[in-house]
């Protein structure tokens, strides 16, 4: 049984209520939130800037009593949380050799691991920190004494905890041209904690949220931001308790602004995912860190599994509702522009597509029509061929015929039955035996027809196969596996349906829309076996190879982040907990792994195709894998959870 949570580190941004200059009150609230965070399985919790004293003490920071009270309060926090397996990051003023520093105190198991002073101090408008504090550049030493402990001191410290590494920066540090977190990330910090006290102004929060998101993307890191909330002085400024958790450009958790209640914003940062992104990003690896970082090793006890706060999207390829129209429109235009470039380069003005009445061929036909618009070609330049076979049903046949005609394309119908019957006779195959020979004969006959018609019209065959089919090898080698250009090859099956719906709603008239909506509702099938007695589809792809919902989930995390099968299985059980049971997930994950490894030979000779997203299987750049690689280790890993 694995106990490392697969690199999912539970973090929290804590927003306590404070009383300005009442260190005892503030310490008690900090302790309560640390205990609450620990009970929720949080591994690291971050508090706002100067949370022990309150940020808005002003000239009270010159008071010896306030600074000594702050140290006593910090000592209480250290002592009271010593028995907890949680790292706490608390804001506190610290006097070092007659200078006062605005610090992040990192606490674990009764020890202050490090003190990290603020590097950049604002000294404008409502902020006059340089009136009381010194910047970290004026630090007179690399170690100081606090709460009776010798503590590492500096703004370049990275804490290494075995499974993960982290660093801190404070408020204004983030707003500078080169935040300290950039150096820390280049030195290995996977998570950055920002202790802040940012007041509220019109429009400021939107900018701040974008800043946090972009810094996490720039550093390819997790970023936890905790800012002062209720209780900070409103003499001139208002603090609304802003808490954000971001991972590589995406906000995955946020607080409720303007709340008078204390808050814990909890989520899980995937450091495995961060490591994967950094390994594949050559510019990240080649960029030098400015200055050197000090690494402090901590023997952190990795907790056992606990419930994730992180949302695991079961459909990682599907755009969010707010982005759906824009993303699908962009993908559609990428497909069409890519095909237009290929036609322009070759001088060809004809496209040939085999139309089955299913989703994939429908999308390919729509891309061809869009390409005609871009190139100023008549839609009759697209030849849509329906090739009825043994398993063709009336529904798909009718949709195919009507769609081709209503789009204004050239329509041709060429039955493959007679040719396949003759071929079975030539090779001595009994057509009553519905085996792989029976099915592949039909696929290859259709491909031969398409290729020859393309020769007749001086054009090219446009492939219809999608990314999911390529991953599973669900294509007949040198049959539907082959074309002269494949426009759908980097679009997964779960997304194809949304692409067709986008075109139906935005690119065609009502007569075509009617057909497209019925295609969307048609079961996915190669229609290579005879229909049932009622004339309905008898061969449903997902009954044979498994649900595409699962396979696309497996594909995304296998290719995009290189996760282990056991971690993918763990995530899938969370994402699909109300849809598939654990046995089904286990079964189809093994199917995916077996097919993904065994079918690489088909991908190694796949036609050119446009890349539209971050996951692609082109052997010319995105996925380079030997056809004979063994799947043994991956299959064994599935059973390790």
Decide if 591 contacts 441 (C-beta within 8 A): no
Decide if 492 contacts 468 (C-beta within 8 A): yes
CATH superfamily of 321-638: HUPs (3.40.50.620)
> Quick check: helix, strand or coil at residue 202?
coil
Torsion of the alpha carbons at 174, 175, 177 and 180, rounded to the nearest 10:
-20
pLDDT above 50: residue 2: no
Pick the closest to residue 479 from 448, 516, 435 (CA basis): 448
The Cα–Cα gap between 360 and 353 comes to: 11
Mean pLDDT of 512-527: 84
390: Cα separation from own chain's centroid: 42
Mean pLDDT of the chain, nearest integer: 93
For 225, the token pair is 């931001």
Is the model's pLDDT at 288 over the cut of 70?
no
Which fold would CATH assign to domain 9-297?
A: Nitrilase/N-carbamoyl-D-aminoacid amidohydrolase (3.60.110)
Name the percent of the chain lying above pLDDT 70.
Answer: 95
Is the dihedral angle over the CA atoms 440, 446, 448, 454 positive or is it negative?
negative
What does the pLDDT read at residue 641? Answer: 64
> Which residues are known to be catalytic?
49, 118, 171
Specify whether the CB–CB gap between 336 and 372 falls below 8 A: no
226: part of which helix (H) or strand (E)?
strand 222-227
Rounded-to-integer distance, Cα 180 and Cα 135, Å: 13
Residue among 187, 139, 118, 117 nearest 159 (CA): 187
Q: Provide the Cα torsion 42, 44, 47, 51; round to 10°.
A: 110
In this model, does residue 413 exceed pLDDT 70?
yes
Cα–Cα distance for residue pair 296/290, rounded to 1 Å = 19
Q: Are strands 485-486 and 460-463 parallel, antiparallel or unpaired?
A: parallel
Token output for 20? 């300005």
Q: Give CA–CA dist 576/578, Å, rounded.
A: 5
Q: Are 318 and 494 in contact (CB under 8 A)?
A: yes
Long-range contacts of 475-481 (CB under 8 A, 24+ apart): 475/443, 475/602, 476/439, 476/440, 476/443, 476/444, 476/447, 477/601, 477/602, 478/444, 478/447, 479/440, 479/443, 479/444, 479/446, 479/447, 480/354, 480/443, 480/446, 480/447, 481/602, 481/606
- For residue 586, pLDDT beyond 70: yes
Assign 305 a pLDDT band (cuts: 50, 70, 90). Answer: low
Mean pLDDT of 96-109: 97
Read off the pLDDT of each residue in 400-415 and give the average, rounded to a whole number.
Answer: 97
Give residue 137's pLDDT. 93
Q: What is the pLDDT of residues 63-95, one digit of tens each?
A: 999 999 999 999 999 999 999 999 999 999 999
Average pLDDT over residues 122-142: 87
Residue 221 token pair: 């890191």
* Residues 255 and 243: beta-carbon distance below 8 Å: yes
Average the pLDDT over each of 61-75, 226-240, 376-390 and give the range with the smallest value. Answer: 226-240
Residue with the two structure tokens 């965070």: 37
Query: pLDDT value at position 1?
Result: 39
For the cut 70, the answer to whether the pLDDT of residue 106 exceeds it is: yes
Q: CA–CA separation, 441 vs 150, rounded Å?
A: 78
371-376 own/partner pairs: CB under 8 Å, 24+ apart:
371/336, 371/339, 371/340, 371/343, 373/336, 374/336, 374/337, 374/340, 375/340, 375/343, 375/344, 375/349
In the chain, residues under CATH classification 3.40.50.620 are 321-638
Q: Is the pLDDT of residue 554 over 60?
A: yes
Q: Which residue, chain included where needed, has tokens 């309905």?
A: 536
For the chain, residues classed under CATH 3.60.110.10 are 9-297
Q: Which of 100, 180, 195 is nearest to 140 (CA)?
A: 100
Residue 289's pLDDT is 56
**Tens digits of per-residue pLDDT, 605-634?**
999 999 999 999 999 988 999 999 999 999
- Sorting pLDDT into bands at 50, 70 and 90, what band is 4? low
Confidence of residue 544 (pLDDT cuts 50, 70, 90): confident
């Amino acid at each position: 049984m694995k106990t490392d949570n697969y690199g999912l580190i539970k973090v929290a941004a804590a927003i306590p209520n404070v009383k300005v200059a009442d260190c005892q009150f503030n310490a008690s609230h900090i302790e309560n939130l640390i205990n609450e965070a620990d009970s929720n399985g949080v591994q690291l919790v971050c508090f706002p800037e100067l949370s022990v004293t309150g940020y808005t003490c002003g000239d009270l920071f010159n008071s010896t009593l306030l600074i000594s009270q702050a140290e006593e309060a910090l000592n209480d926090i250290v002592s009271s949380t010593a028995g907890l397996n949680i790292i706490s990051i608390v804001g506190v003023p610290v006097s070092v050799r007659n200078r006062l520093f605005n610090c992040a105190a990192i606490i674990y198991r009764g020890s202050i691991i490090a003190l990290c002073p603020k590097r950049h101090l604002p000294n404008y408008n409502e902020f006059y920190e340089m009136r009381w504090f010194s910047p970290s550049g004026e630090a007179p030493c690399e170690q100081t004494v606090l709460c009776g402990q010798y503590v590492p001191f500096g703004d370049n410290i990275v804490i290494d905890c075995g499974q993960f590494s982290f660093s801190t920066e404070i408020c204004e540090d983030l707003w500078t041209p080169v935040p300290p977190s950039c150096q820390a990330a280049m030195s290995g910090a996977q998570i950055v904690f920002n202790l802040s006290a940012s007041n509220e102004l019109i429009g400021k929060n939107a900018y701040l949220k974008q800043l946090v998101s972009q810094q996490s993307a720039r550093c390819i890191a997790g970023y936890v931001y905790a800012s002062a909330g209720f209780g900070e002085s409103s003499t001139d400024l208002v603090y609304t308790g802003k808490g954000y958790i971001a991972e590589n450009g995406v906000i995955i958790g946020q607080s409720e602004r303007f709340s008078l209640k204390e808050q814990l914003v909890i989520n899980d940062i995937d450091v495995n995912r961060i490591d994967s992104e950094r390994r594949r990003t050559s510019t990240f690896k080649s960029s030098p860190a400015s200055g050197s970082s000090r690494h402090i090793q901590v023997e952190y006890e990795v907790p056992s599994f606990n419930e994730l706060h992180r949302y695991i999207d079961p459909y990682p390829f599907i755009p969010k509702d707010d982005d759906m129209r824009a993303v699908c429109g962009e993908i559609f235009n990428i497909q069409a522009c890519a095909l237009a470039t290929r036609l322009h380069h070759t001088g060809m003005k004809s496209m040939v597509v085999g139309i089955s009445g299913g989703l994939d061929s429908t999308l390919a036909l729509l891309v061809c029509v869009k390409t005609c618009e871009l190139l100023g070609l008549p839609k009759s330049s697209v030849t849509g061929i329906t090739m009825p076979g043994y398993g063709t049903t009336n529904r798909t046949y009718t949709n195919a015929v009507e769609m081709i005609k209503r789009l204004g394309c050239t329509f041709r119908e060429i039955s493959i039955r007679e040719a396949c019957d003759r071929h079975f006779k030539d090779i001595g195959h009994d057509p009553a035996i519905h085996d792989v020979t029976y099915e592949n004969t039909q696929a290859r006959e259709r491909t031969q027809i398409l290729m020859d018609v393309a020769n007749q019209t001086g054009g090219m065959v446009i492939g219809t196969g999608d990314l999911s089919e390529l991953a599973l090898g669900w294509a007949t080698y040198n049959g539907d596996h082959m074309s002269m250009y494949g426009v759908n090859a980097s679009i997964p099956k779960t997304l194809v349906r949304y692409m067709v719906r986008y075109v139906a709603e935005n690119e065609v008239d009502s007569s075509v829309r009617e057909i497209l909506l019925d295609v969307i509702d048609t079961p996915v099938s190669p229609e290579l076996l005879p229909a049932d007695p009622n004339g309905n589809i008898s061969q449903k792809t997902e009954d044979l190879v498994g649900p595409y919902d699962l396979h696309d989930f497996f594909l995304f995390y296998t290719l995009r982040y290189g996760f282990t099968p056991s971690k993918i299985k763990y995530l899938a059980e969370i994402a699909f907990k109300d849809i598939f049971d654990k046995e089904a997930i286990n079964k189809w994950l093994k199917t995916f792994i077996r097919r993904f490894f065994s079918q690489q030979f088909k991908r190694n000779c796949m036609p050119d195709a446009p890349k539209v997203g971050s996951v692609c299987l082109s052997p010319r750049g995105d996925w380079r894998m030997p056809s004979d690689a063994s799947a043994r280790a991956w299959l064994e890993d599935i059973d390790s959870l």
